[in-house]
Amino acid sequence: MSLYPFKFDPILKERLWGGTKLNTVLGKPITTDITGESWELSAVPGDISEVSNGALANTSLQALIDEYNEALLGKKVYERFGNEFPILIKFIDAKQDLSIQVHPNDALAKERHNSFGKTEMWYIMQADEGSELIVGFNKNVTKEEYQKHLDDNTVTDLMNYEKVTEGDTFFINTGKIHAIGAGIMLAEIQQTSDVTYRVYDFNRKDKEGNLRELHTEMALDAIDYEKKDDFKVAYSKEPNACGTMVDCPYFTTNYWNITETTVIEVKERDSFTIFMCTKGEATISSPAGSIEIKRGETVLLPANSETITIEGAVELLEVYIS
């Protein structure tokens, strides 16, 4: 079987803070008006993506990896991660503020949850006027000071708020306290992990009238209490050229603004390549086949693709393992 470019059925997640933009803006087949996440590419147990196109339609991502390993993932990626797919790709619609939260690093996540840590990045696709993110603290704090503000219900006084517009990009390393604010729709690229420590939820109740679980004690040793200005990502938006956004041990992400036919050489990459479409539409081709992509869709190209040709008027996030 020749490995061609793959699309996958979205895995839609109802969330207390979700809305309807995943349908009205991105065309996802949501069934509730509180749909917060579309998991585009996932190998998280219990939420494994299935192919939606071609001869391998209805095959799970995990089955693809088990069958084709290096041809799909790349030799160096397979040697590093084995049959565990290292990336989780999502679109997120926050109608309300998300909880303030933090993610543990690899060592802590392995020890406590036998999981990867959760380094992630956000690309703002749409933001209502005045929308904000919480990213880090607004000053250096001590663990004791942080705990006191939690106890006093004033922890938001310590948070750093960032107003956002379309195209803004943020790198959220493990340990950084954060939250997506109301009115924001974004693309999220992260390590394969579903480990989140929720530390403050604005005293909201779920549809059963219960306060959501907090992970106050577990978060204490995961938080970086220093104020750091290391999260806003600058990148080139030059047409038909690679604009590197994030290059970290867990993933590399590039921005492409395609206005004319562009060929990307990936033979030496030795990694799968993912494209998330944030605007427009295009045809993506490899020697094994072609596929259409439009806003809100995600495509996975196997590591043996060698060259990738993009034709159309489109803005893409390109993701792979360096």
* DSSP β-bridge partners for residue 284: 291, 310
The Cα-based distances of 287 to 23, 47, 48, 149, 307 in angstroms read 33, 30, 27, 57, 7
Q: Is 103 annotated as a binding residue?
A: yes
Encoded amino acid at 310, one letter: I
Active site residues: 198
Q: Is 149 annotated as a binding residue?
A: no
Q: Could you tell me the two tokens for 208?
A: 């059963």
Encoded amino acid at 22, one letter: L
Q: Are 126 and 185 in contact (CB under 8 A)?
A: yes
Calculate the CA dihedral of residues 176, 177, 180, 182 and round it to 10 degrees.
-160
> Coil, strand or helix: which one is 3?
coil
Task: For residue 66, give the H/E element and its range.
Answer: helix 61-73
Known binding positions for Zn(2+)? 103, 120, 178
